[in-house]
Amino acid sequence: MSIEIAAWIDGTLRPVDKLEAHRRGLRHPAVSIFLLRGSEVLLQRRALMKYHSGGLWANTCCTHPHWGEDPAACAARRLAEELGLSDIPLSRRDQVEYRAEVGNGMIEHEVVDIFVGELPKGREPEPNPAEVMDTIWRPLPTLAAEVMANPHDFTPWLSIYLRDHAASIFGSVRA
C-alpha cells in the first residue's frame, strides 16, 4: 500500500510516496511523540517487519503526516494506530531537522514536529504487533546512558534527540 507524504522537491512541498522519499533521502515533514510519566519515558521497540529500523528501540511514537494532514492530528492518529492510546493531551515542544541513514538503503531527512504528553498512571499502551513488538518505561537519565553505551540498539533519531535536543523536548526532566 502506497502512502503519500509531503516532501520538498526543488524547493516546493509536493506529495510523494513515503518509501520513495526515504530511498531518495528527500527532506520531508515528520512527527515524533514522547509520552512521559514523571521522569520516565515510554519507548517502543519497532516491529521486525518495519521497512527500516526493525527491532530497534525508539521514542514512544513517530510517523509522517499524510499529504495535507496537520502535525497535531497526525500525532494523535498515530498514537492510536501504534499504541492504542487516544485522548492524550499533547503539547508541541520543538521542530528539529536531522538526516540519518536508517538501513535498507533508506535515509531519513526529516523536519520533525516533536510532541510531548503525560500518560496517566493506570493507562498503558496496547501495541499493534504490526508496528510495535514491545514497550518499556525508562527513566530519562538511564535511557541517555543506555543509548550512549549501546547505540546499535536504538534508532538513529532517538540518539539525535537525546544528544542534541533533550533540553527543548524534556525541559526540566533532564537526560
Q: Residues 74, 82, 108, 110: which is the catalytic one?
A: 110
Calpha distance 125→80 (Å, rounded) = 9
Q: Residues 61, 62, 82, 108: which is the catalytic one?
A: 62
Active site (annotated) includes residue 74: no
| Strand pairing report for 40-46 and 57-58 | antiparallel
- Cell matching residue 130: 504490526
| Strand pairing report for 27-37 and 4-9 | unpaired
Q: Report the DSSP beta bridge partners of residue 42.
A: 137
Calpha distance 13→102 (Å, rounded) = 23
Question: Could you list the active site residues?
Answer: 62, 110
